[in-house]
Structure 1
Amino acid sequence: MNAVNLLDFDLDGLTVFCEQLGEKRFRATQLFRWIHQKGATDFDQMSDLAKSLRSKLKGVATLQDLSVISEHVSSDGTIKWLFDVGAGNAVESVYIPESDRGTLCVSSQAGCAVGCRFCSTGHQGFSRNLTTGEIVAQLWHAEYALRKRLGTTERVISNVVMMGMGEPLQNYSALVPALKVMLDDHGYGLSRRRVTVSTSGVVPMIERLQNDCPVALAVSLHAPNDALRDELVPLNRKYPIDELLTACQAYLTAAPRDFITFEYCMLDGVNDTDEHARQLIALVKGRINCKFNLIPFNPFPASGLLRSNNERVQAFARILVDAGIVTTVRKTRGDDIDAACGQLAGEVQDRTRAAARMLRQPVAVKVALPKPGERHRSAP
């Protein structure tokens, strides 16, 4: 009989497991605290558990950490771990330290089936979903590795963003228990406002998350119209922008924040003209409370795309801000270790032949005609 990985359980699941062992419910809470608040790896460390329970656990349960293939530290303090998840697959997690927070970017899949044109992960294709335990283990490992490194018993990671490899909402059944572990006061005790799920727009799952576990939501928009978004984010062909915005509006009724974050990767000559900015304003103004996070593209050879220059990004941002839309330009972190947004690639045994398909389907760039006095921009 294979041992059960206790990282696969949220508190409700662990309670059921303990009851199956003939234990009272409060034992699950004690066990949960040892695992997630203290990072215990040995059942004998769990001193307030009955010896009989510790003996039972040794026979039927384990705490399965992920094996680290590599760890890289950026000049700006960003840390990237490459974790082995078996069968030739590996996923990446990134820790981003800032003065007022410590953010961990977590992966949900080995690869990604969405295939966004500007994403290095998408070009690798898709192998499989991660389990709840594999999602949670990224946080568990990072938190306790960082505590040891910093010589502290205090919490280091204050924010989690499900923005690593994969589309979280296409791994919904494993995602939600993992989120509940992060939020549980007996676990990591993170605020719903400080846990963010990033999605390319899986509309039915946005609607389910609203009811099951509403956390902060970030939507990878990247285009102001369906024609362009169809090419940059292929999922748009199934769930077009109007359906996506309707789901986002509904989500706000349960969300911990009063706005949706729209991620927008700035691609030179593709989606970064003044006209694109004005189309975005027309799309969201008066319809949905939102902020835009403009992301400098991190180029990789297979994409065939280029990064918008800083002047263009700032001009684009000014148009949005002047229209009263909160807009930030994401600071690039960890790009010297390939840990920046869109760079996470890991190692994936692709079952989707994504790279071959993308090479056959180059982006058909549509550049808006320049307005009088506006410099024409050439496509990449």
Structure 2
Amino acid sequence: MTEDTRTNLTGRTNLIGLSRTELEAEMAAIGEKPFRAKQLWHWLYNRGETDFARMTSISKIMQGKLAERYVVYRPVVERDLVSADTTRKWLLKFADGNEAETVYIPDEDEERGAVCISTQVGCTLTCRFCHTGTQLLVRNLSAAEIVGQFLVARDAYGEWPTPDDSVRRLSNVVVMGMGEPLYNFDNVATALKIVMDGDGIGVSKRRITLSTSGVVPMMARCGEELGVNLAISLHAVTDEVRDRIMPINKKYPLAELMAACRAYPGASNARRITFEYVMLKGVNDSAADARQLLRLIKGLPAKFNLIPFNPWPGAPYDCSDAKTIRAFSDILQDAGYSAPIRKSRGQDIMAACGQLRSDSQRVRCSRQQDRLAAGIADDHGPQPAAP
């Protein structure tokens, strides 16, 4: 994590997003012992506190010392929309003015649900069925900006201090928002380790699912270092079709992707890999496609998530009809696999799968240099190479 990433425009360092080790190093740098980091960690991630003056287990002298050097900064909520089905979407603005979207998706009983987290402003991929893919990558999100999305959701629902598992409304995290998380792995990993830490937010890794379009070289590392559930945005069963709708397949074709799935650490019948499959009329929805899908994943601990295509302005595809989707699901289920048809949530507020997008744009090189010369950091980490 670079100094530019951590430093607020006021010159003070944002404590959100620092790993435990980094937080301890900050305390050591101001002459404090490691227990101060443990105190702060509790206030930041168990209590959700943003004001040092309200951290009552810390002396007033120490509170002042912290306030001089540090901030506890959340993304700013620019827009807060609630769907007729109670799905909720936030447009969040970051310190440099860029924006991304975060969604809360309630379960059917609406007593609990998942927070869908974004990892990039825009996306480095150009999947043709995804609205986010029409927005070029602007930049990676920092660890602070990634974990900050979950904190904003907690703020919105008043879930502080951290509730126990039996009463959590925000019970799951899905890393399925804007961007390809495995092209921003270091920041994603730092953020998820904060989310999983038992002394703070404490969401079990079994309640976290990371979705990738198939960045094969990073998949094993994800399993080894994070151990979270894996979801694969598959959406086609031949290289010819997947090349067309998901250009990443030209770099990591299906044979390599399936081999990486078979090698994914921790995958088992108890922890199956989810294969996400958006249903596109006349493109990938035939009975032959379903049978080929079964051949493709043979021997893998797998389940499926069939997603009716969610339209967006200018979308080049139509959704398969309900009868076709049901027939596709029946073929998979008759072979012994779980293959539910996802109920689209939040369509009226453009919060459904594949509909997220912000108006942030790439900064021209000359403009970026001007901003950097003025002391405003635009770059939050190395940019990934386009596949």
The TM-score bracket by the shorter chain reads 0.7 to 0.9
**Does residue 348 of structure 1 match 2:357?**
no
Residue equivalent to 2:14: 5
Q: 1:200 Cα deviation (Å)?
A: 0.4
Matches of 2:26 and 2:113 in 1, distance apart? 32
| Deviation beyond 6 Å, 4+ runs, structure 1 | none
**How many Å separate the matches in 2 of 1:282 and 1:233?**
20
Structure 1 residue 88: Cα displacement: 5.0
Q: Is residue 146 of structure 2 the alignment partner of residue 135 of structure 1?
A: yes
Aligned-residue offset at 1:120: 0.2
Question: What residue is the counterpart of 2:61 in the other structure?
Answer: 52
- TM-score w.r.t. length of structure 1: 0.87
Query: Residues of 2 paired with 1:219 and 1:186: CA distance?
Result: 30
1:222 to 232, 235, 251: 235
**Identity value in percent:** 46
Aligned length: 349
Give the drift of 1:26. 2.0
Alignment of 1:15-30 (within 5 A): 15-30=24-39
Match of 1:121 among 132, 140, 148: 132
Residue 274 of structure 1: CA displacement? 0.6
- Name the SS for the 1:41 alignment partner: coil
1:64-103 alignment, distance < 5 Å? 64-85=73-94, 87=96, 89-98=98-107, 99=109, 101-103=112-114
Which deviations, in whole Å up to 9, do the C-alpha atoms of 1:329-376 show, x marking residues without a partner? 111111111100000112220479xxxxxxxxxxxxxxxxxxxxxxxx
SS at match of 1:329: coil
Which residue matches 1:360?
none
Question: What 5-or-longer segments of structure 2 have no aligned partner?
Answer: 1-9, 365-387
- Output the CA distance in 1 between the equivalents of 2:116 and 2:32: 36
Give the SS at the match of 2:351. coil
What secondary structure is seen at the aligned counterpart in 2 of 1:303? Answer: coil
1:86 deviates by 5.0
Preserved contact between residue 175 and residue 210 of structure 2 (Cα < 8 Å): yes
Shift of 1:58: 0.8
Counterpart for residue 225 of structure 2: 212
TM-score (norm 2): 0.86
SS of residue paired to 2:84: coil
Contact 2:268-2:301 within 8 A present in 1 as well: no
Contact 1:124-1:350 within 8 A present in 2 as well: no
Is the 2:75–2:95 Cα contact (8 Å) retained in structure 1? no
Q: 1:293 aligns with which of 302, 305, 308?
A: 305
Matches within 5 A, 1:232-251: 232-251=245-264
Bigger shift: residues 268-277 or 47-56: 47-56
Is residue 268–residue 305 contact of structure 1 (8 Å, CA) maintained in 2? yes
Q: Contact between 1:215 and 1:255, CA under 8 Å: does it hold in 2?
A: no
CA 236–310 in structure 1, closer or farther in 2 if over 3 Å, else same: same
**Residues 108-187 of structure 1 aligned to structure 2 (within 5 Å):** 108-147=119-158, 155-187=168-200
Please tell me whether the aligned partners of residues 147 and 156 of structure 1 are also in contact (alpha carbons under 8 angstroms): no
SS in 2 for 1:197: strand
Aligned Cα root-mean-square deviation (Å): 2.0
**Superposed displacement of residue 93, structure 1:** 0.5
Structure 1, unmatched stretches of 5+, are 353-380
Give the secondary-structure state (helix, strand or coil) at the position aligned to 1:56. helix
| C-alpha distance 86-117 of structure 1, shift in aligned 2 (>3 A) | farther
* Shift of residue 87, structure 1, vs aligned partner: 4.9
